[in-house]
Amino acid sequence: MTPAYDRLNLTDRVIIVTGGGSGIGQATARLLASRGARVVVADMNEAGGRGTVEAIRAVGGLAAFVRTNVADEDDVQAMVSFAVAEFGALHGAFNNAGRSSSGAPLTNMSLAAWRQVIDVNLTGVFLCMKHEIDHMLRNGGGAIANTSSGAGVVGFPHAIDYVASKHGVVGLTRAAAADYSNQGIRINAILPGGVDTPMLNSAMGNDPVVRRAVEQGLPIRRLAQPAEMAEAAAWLLSDAASYVTGAAFAIDGGYTAI
């Protein structure tokens, strides 16, 4: 093995993946396991989460599922406790769980609809980091990757709640990195663009005409596959990214470049 490969290796690292039941989370959980990590798949979707675990175990990987609502602090605390009880430690986390915009214009958006998106996309990341970092501080450090969005650094129409939440994830990532990097915890974010996931396809109404229009709006002229996001997250959680912290990586086919 080359030194570069060794630094990507995650053998015996225990890593939580929220939103691991589908899309980017599922692809990342499977990639992390293929590189030797023991993966805790957390999701509200039990069928999807358990399916991810079964797929990992089918090829000899180690994984376990825990049902988790990231907007509920008791659930998040239980998720971290489960990871430690199941595999003995916690070395990394991919805080990826999220939901799409309600789609309402700001003036018509109810406070309840606003809170549903903010609670999952922003407060959920805050709660996950709070309990993950608390454990990591007591056990030698670790690495965290958060999922923001291209909409976390630019405006995006008809998605006020989503854009605000994803901007917040970038802020949380940078501020937490400033606070904890000198204590052995690296914290970064990925900013996906259009990714071919169930959530995006649902937002597009599963309409091939809309999909084509979205693709044509990207310099790269196609949607990403979840595995392309997984590579970035896995790199950030590995020793190959040992000097990377407080960064927000756009992996968006050039969307934020135009």
Concatenated DSSP letters for 75-131? HHHHHHHHHHHHHS---EEEE----------GGG--HHHHHHHHIIIIIHHHHHHHH
Confidence at 134, pLDDT banded by 50, 70, 90: very high
> What does pLDDT average to over the chain?
95
Rg over CA atoms, the chain: 17
User: Which residues, in sequence order, are CB contacts of 147 under 8 Å at separation 6+?
Assistant: 19, 24, 94, 95, 96, 98, 169, 189, 190, 192, 233
* 85 in any annotated domain: yes
Do residues 50 and 64 make contact, with C-beta atoms less than 8 angstroms apart? no
Do residues 187 and 181 make contact, with C-beta atoms less than 8 angstroms apart? yes
Hey, what are 140's tokens? 């030698």
* 203 in any annotated domain: no
Q: What's the pLDDT score for residue 114?
A: 98
Q: For residue 65, what is the enclosing H or E element?
A: strand 62-67
Report the domain count for the chain.
1
* 217 in any annotated domain: no
Domain coverage including residue 169: 3-191+226-257
Express each pLDDT in 151-207 by its tens digit: 999 998 899 999 999 999 999 999 999 999 999 999 999 999 988 988 878 877 788
Spatial distance between the Cα atoms of 257 and 250, rounded to a whole number of angstroms = 9
Q: What's the pLDDT score for residue 5?
A: 62
User: Which candidate in 5, 162, 180, 255 is catalytic?
Assistant: 162
Alpha-helical segments (H) within 120-191: 124-137, 160-180
Hey, what are 30's tokens? 């499977």
Q: What's the pLDDT score for residue 252?
A: 94
162 labelled catalytic: yes
* 215 in any annotated domain: no
The length of the chain in residues reads 258
Residue indicated by tokens 């939440």:
165
Hey, what are 80's tokens? 């971290």
* 201 in any annotated domain: no
* 213 in any annotated domain: no
Spatial distance between the Cα atoms of 77 and 84, rounded to a whole number of angstroms = 11
For residue 1, is pLDDT > 60?
no
User: Which residues, in sequence order, are CB contacts of 33 under 8 Å at separation 6+?
Assistant: 39, 56, 61, 62, 63
Confidence at 30, pLDDT banded by 50, 70, 90: very high
- Residue 230: give its domain's CATH number: 3.40.50.720
Closest CA to 180 of 234, 140, 228, 226: 140
* 96 in any annotated domain: yes
Express each pLDDT in 39-86 by its tens digit: 999 999 999 999 999 999 999 999 999 999 999 999 999 999 999 999
Q: What's the pLDDT score for residue 156?
A: 85
For residue 218, is pLDDT > 60?
yes
Hey, what are 164's tokens? 């605000």
